[in-house]
Amino acid sequence: MSFDEFNILIGGEAGQGLVTIGELLSRAMVRSGCYILVTQGYQSRIRGGHNTFSIRAGADLPLAPQDELDVLVALDPETLDLHRKDLKKDGLIIASGSVGVDADGAVLVPRDMVLSGFENTAVLGVLAFLIGIESALFEGLIRDTLGKKHPEALDENLAAFKKAYEWAKTNTSRRMDVSKTCKTDRSGRSVMLNGNQAIALGAMSAGAKFCAFYPMTPSTSVPLTLIANADAMDLVVEQAEDEIAAINMAIGASFCGAPSMVATSGGGFALMTEGISLAGMTETPVVIVVAQRPGPATGLPTRTEQADLEFVLHAGHGEFARAIFAPGSIEACFHLTHRAFHLAEASQGPVFILTDQFLADSYRAVEPFNLEGLAPVRAGARVSDIEAPYRRYLITESGVSPRLLPGFSRHLVVADSDEHTEDGHLTEDLSVREAMVKKRFRKWTVVLKEVEPPEYHGPEAPETILLTWGSSRGAGLEAGKRLRQGGESVGNLHFDQVWPLAQDQFLGRLSSAKRVVSIEGNATGQFARLIRRETGFDIKDRVLRYDGLPFTADYILERL
């Protein structure tokens, strides 16, 4: 049995180790030469509930999750109840021996292996044989992974895996040949990363030296990745007492010259908004990662959505320049984070990275990032270029004033959150106020000059354009590709940056199409509304999803 690609779903309760199975299986596939795309579904519980780890794998890059399953791995009965309907006719069920299964051909892991205390490792052993990956590859991964986390149980896990693998050899008749699905010449060339890990790597490539955070799903793995590399990269990560402290710590560190960031989600970002205004008024560079999840309030804290665009766009009182990146791929997470640090320094203000739970937790196989030419941020201006007395908020043609770091020269650096004069002292001189507003607004030119143009795929003059932003990119691309293969004239226009908008980059293309469809993970079409507000172009057709799940191509095609 061989495939161009295949889709595996592992389901069970929190605490059964399905993430361990999933990550080991994903790494084995990547090392075998597969491209993968992982989708994780979990509930806000330490134990119990229904969790899933889905892997779509193949020789070509999967663009989005898929609903139909080739293999269903059930660690509990609920997984069968919920996902059996998605299994293809010739699909395979692998179930823990404690799960009652009446399907012909289902593979049941023996109860003695299940009761050994290493159920997940035993299931992995059976699964490894059935998808045709060599035992030695998994054994190496188990040593590398569990040997670090649980060295006391390494030998038992290896024994459970080997026993299950050997059992499958003599007790199962069906086998899938991964070696024919994946190109073996890619073996060892790819790395496995999720979106948050790529954001953290992008920050490190830009020379990030400080990150403050308060733990909040699904953003926390950004600072955790930074913590894992803090010593090697000479950076400080501080878990603050709350989000208010976190944003103000980052602003303070940046004021002193450390390229800084925070990572949070909607509820935490709500607490940060006064600090966002502080960065705008004091003209302090800071990068803010907002990992979206469904609200209002706690909403669905472990699910995905794209409903915080308008919130981030308007967060903070008063008016000041900002940029919002919304990466749609792992590669974009890395490169746009690097750019965000440089743009924050160049514009001396806040820059946002708007991601979501799906992208944050979605592992992909990607080529190692090319670091050539990626220079770190150089904070502050050259002291030798600045004459005394120093004026922190000198009115300039570009709106960007020379930024000196306190304590690094004889110059006195004065900053103020009130309206201020050029030398940084507070003022209520209304003519100065007007001049300072105009100065800060001229920084829009700096931000606009650096706008990331939208990405386009398809014929030059399509009848229909599918418009996406952020993590809906992959599903939109796959839907467009399938429509073109069916003979339809369809193009894909994707925005990795959603603010500010440079009309000349996209308005002509939208105006020439007969139909434009906005695909967004929210209930109202926030990005379509933003385009109408800024350009007057009204996108009437919208495919919206707000049930907490990521887009799939099938979901889009059924609603077009």
For residue 435, is pLDDT > 60? yes
Task: Identify the pLDDT of residue 183.
Answer: 62
Q: Tell me the mean pLDDT in the region 125-142.
A: 91
State the average pLDDT for the chain: 93
| Class of residue 131 by CB neighbours under 10 A (exposed 0-12, middle 13-18, buried 19+) | buried
User: What SS3 state is found at 298?
Assistant: coil
Confidence label for 108 from pLDDT (cuts 50, 70 and 90): confident
Q: Tell me the mean pLDDT in the region 449-454.
A: 95
DSSP 217-278: TTTTHHHHHHHHTHHHHT-EEEE-SSHHHHHHHHHHHHHTT--EEEEE-HHHHHHHHHHHHH
For residue 182, is pLDDT > 70? yes
Q: Is the peptide bond before 500 cis (omega within 30 degrees of 0)?
A: yes
Task: Identify the pLDDT of residue 161.
Answer: 93
CA distance 556 to 394: 51
For residues 215 and 131, the model is more confident at 215
Q: Tell me the mean pLDDT in the region 121-129.
A: 91
Contacts of 516 (CB under 8 A, 6+ apart): 464, 465, 467, 510, 537, 539, 541
Confidence label for 189 from pLDDT (cuts 50, 70 and 90): confident
Task: Identify the pLDDT of residue 34.
Answer: 87
Task: Identify the pLDDT of residue 219.
Answer: 97
Confidence label for 397 from pLDDT (cuts 50, 70 and 90): very high
CA distance 278 to 290: 18
Task: Identify the pLDDT of residue 47.
Answer: 77
Q: Are strands 455-457 and 364-366 parallel, antiparallel or unpaired?
A: unpaired
Q: Which amino acid is at 456?
A: Y
Q: Tell me the mean pLDDT in the region 82-104.
A: 83
Share of the chain above pLDDT 90, in %: 76
CA distance 128 to 151: 22
Residue spans of beta strands (DSSP E) within 266-404: 286-292, 323-325, 350-356, 364-366
pTM of the model: 0.94
Q: Which of 98-107, 145-154, 460-469 has the highest mean pLDDT?
A: 460-469
The lowest-confidence range among 28-32, 227-231, 552-556 is 28-32
Sign of CA dihedral 254, 260, 266, 267: negative
For residue range 493-519, list pLDDT tens digits in order. 999 999 999 999 999 999 999 999 999
User: What SS3 state is found at 167?
Assistant: helix
What spatial distance separates the first Cα and last Cα of the chain, rounded to whole Å? 34
CB atoms within 10 A of CB 414: 16
Task: Identify the pLDDT of residue 102.
Answer: 66
CB 428 within 8 A of CB 405: no
The lowest-confidence range among 175-184, 360-369, 401-410, 474-483 is 175-184
Task: Identify the pLDDT of residue 188.
Answer: 63
Query: Measuring CA to CA, how many Å separate 2 from each of 37, 176, 181, 460, 507?
Result: 19, 6, 6, 37, 45
For residue 420, is pLDDT > 80? yes
CA distance 487 to 177: 32
Q: Is the peptide bond before 389 cis (omega within 30 degrees of 0)?
A: yes
CA distance 175 to 363: 25
Rounded to 5 degrees, φ, ψ at 126 are -65, -45
CB 184 within 8 A of CB 137: no
For residue 145, is pLDDT > 90? no
CA distance 558 to 156: 48
CA atoms within 13 A on the CB side of 448: 11
For residue 393, is pLDDT > 90? yes
Q: How many residues does the chain have?
A: 560
Task: Identify the pLDDT of residue 223.
Answer: 98
CA 200 to chain centre: 10
Torsion angle, CA of 244/245/251/253, rounded to 10 degrees?
A: -170
Q: Tell me the mean pLDDT in the region 83-100.
A: 86
Contacts of 515 (CB under 8 A, 6+ apart): 463, 464, 465, 541
Task: Identify the pLDDT of residue 187.
Answer: 57
Task: Identify the pLDDT of residue 44.
Answer: 80
Task: Look up residue 210 and give its two tokens.
Answer: 């400080």
Confidence label for 3 from pLDDT (cuts 50, 70 and 90): low
For residue range 248-302, list pLDDT tens digits in order. 999 999 999 999 999 999 999 999 999 999 999 999 999 999 999 999 999 999 9
Nearest residue to 495 (alpha-carbon basis) of 338, 340, 339, 325: 325
